[in-house]
A and B are shown apart, each in its own frame.
Chain A
Amino acid sequence: MKQVIVLNVNGEPYTVAVYPWQTLNEVLREEINLTGVKFGCGSGDCGACTVMVDGRAVSSCLTLAIEMQGKEIMTIEGLAPSGETLHPIQESFVEKGAIQCGFCTPGMEMAALNLLKNNPTPSDYEIREALAGNLCRCTGYKKIIEAVGVAGQKMKEASERKTS
């Protein structure tokens, strides 16, 4: 039986009717047309489907949509502060050439956000640990790791500018 729920995605409420077995990934991609969220392995191994729920990165392929009522969901489409400005994470990925085919990028950036919002100056090890659940089949990990480090610096500088 379908149940009507309200999903808060990137600050917008969406009223959707979902079956209990529909995943957040399916509803975001197919009902709300947020196709920046990818579907990869369906088993939590690849990280391509990563979104933020209440400020924490989760695999949307292993999350039931029906459990998302009342939560704040953020997808890659909600990362940039405006249509003109990129988020520091996006900026750094572009600058460092950390994007090849791009399929893993939305998930990588969500996993990076999950790390950097609490720890803007992570060690290389911490970056690797934070991205351990995200696979890049183009295998360009080195630049991704660099980009996350630079993004953290930018986020730290931006928040220092705000408070000074």
Chain B
Amino acid sequence: MRLSHFDYHAPETVAQAIALMQAKPGARLMAGGTDLLIKMRHAGLKLQDVISVKSIKGLNTITVDENKGLSIGATALLADVALHPDILKYYPTVAQAARGTANAQVRNMGTVIGNLCNASPAADNAPTLLAMNAEVEIHGPGGQRRMPLEQFFKGPGITALQPAEIVTAVHAPKLAPHTGTAYISLSARGQLDCTAVGVAAMIVLKGKACEEVRIFISSCGPTPVRALKTEAIARGKELTEAVIEQAGNQAAGEVKPIADVRASAGYREKMVAVLTRRVLSQAYTRASE
């Protein structure tokens, strides 16, 4: 099956990309194209103009800075994030999520930012970054701004981006001492298929008690969902088996999943309880180490 016809633009700077988007309303940005080209080939998406992100110079950088934290540029590949030595060391769950996205070929083409901007409720790289309180850096006609990732997702395929805006990077803060993170996802074909249920957690410990807890659930709503009431159960407490059990049950009650080809609603709810228990206990153990 052939792709429908479009004009292709290869800006070399962010400013050129913004100018192109302003000049060509309806144009879409493309990084790896592993979501966009499939929508064009198999889902009837027709575009007049495609604007490359990969042609923009300098957006492929990944930095891990002792004070500023982690930054992943818009064209950094999933494969590069998955194998980056400093990400593996300081943000292992971010590397794990990237490695668990798609297959080797797709990870050599696709980007973490493309995964976020595609705004699938199942996006594998979203829950961990959300749990870590990451921010996206956005450039547009009005200049540059930063937005908490938590405010970025508006619905399936819908982000808070305004016309002619581009995400240039995602930034995760430096993690406090005694922080632990975890992400577990379930899908049909190993890690390859779209996630049917995923849960990520970040825990910051003070002594044995959870000073801070953030929990995000994917594939169970129009966007990844924050489990605020579940967080409240764990916050301030030592995570005993009883607390973890209670948190799992609360998390299942906090989502309203739908049934689709990937899973039934009931299965999703049950798995949210199971995965919430597992990520909480993993994150807690890692935070204690």
Interface residues of A (CB under 8 A from B): 1, 19-23, 26, 42-45, 47, 50, 53, 56-59, 62-64, 66-67, 111, 114-115, 128-130, 132-134
Contact = CB atoms under 8 A, between A and B. Distances in A.
Contacts of A62: 32-34, 37-38, 106, 109
Nearest to A128: B190
Nearest to B36: A62
Q: Tell me the interface secondary structure of chain B in the complex.
A: loop
Given A43-B38, A132-B191, A21 B3 contact: yes
A50 B109 CA distance: 12
B105 interface: yes
A95 B127 CA distance: 45
Contact of B103 (A42, A47, A53): A47
B106 A114 contact: no
B48 to A, nearest CB: 11
B108 interface: yes
A120 B111 CA distance: 26
Contacts of A132: 103-104, 189-192
A57 B1 CA distance: 22
Contacts of B42: 42-43
Given A42-B42, A64-B33, A59 B106 contact: yes
B4 interface: yes
Contacts of A47: 103, 105
A42 B1 contact: yes
A56 B82 CA distance: 14
Q: Is the interface of A mostly helix, strand, loop or mixed?
A: mixed
Contacts of B191: 132
Interface of B: 1-8, 10, 32-34, 37-38, 41-42, 50, 52, 54-55, 79, 102-106, 108-109, 189-192
- Which of B34, B38, B108 lies at the interface centre, i.e. has the most chain A CB atoms within 10 A of its CB? B108
B108 A20 contact: no
A44 B50 contact: no
Contacts of A42: 1, 38, 41-42
A142 B1 CA distance: 31
10 contacts: A21-B5, A43-B42, A53-B108, A58-B109, A59-B34, A64-B33, A128-B190, A132-B189, A133-B105, A133-B192
Contacts of B3: 21-23
B228 to A, nearest CB: 35
B103 A133 contact: yes
A67 B52 contact: yes
Contacts of B108: 53, 56-58, 114
Most buried by B among A53, A132, A134: A132
A59 B4 CA distance: 19
Given A20-B8, A42-B41, A62-B38, A111 B33 contact: no
A43 B34 CA distance: 8
Given A62-B34, A67-B54, A132-B191, A20 B6 contact: yes
A43 B109 contact: no
Contacts of A21: 2-6, 8
A56 B103 CA distance: 13
Nearest to A111: B104
A62 B50 CA distance: 14
Nearest to A3: B8
Contacts of A66: 8
Contacts of B104: 57, 111, 114-115, 129-130, 132-133
A26 B3 CA distance: 11
Given A42-B41, A42-B42, A47-B105, 11 more contacts: A1-B7, A20-B6, A44-B102, A44-B105, A44-B106, A45-B192, A57-B104, A59-B106, A62-B34, A67-B52, A114-B108
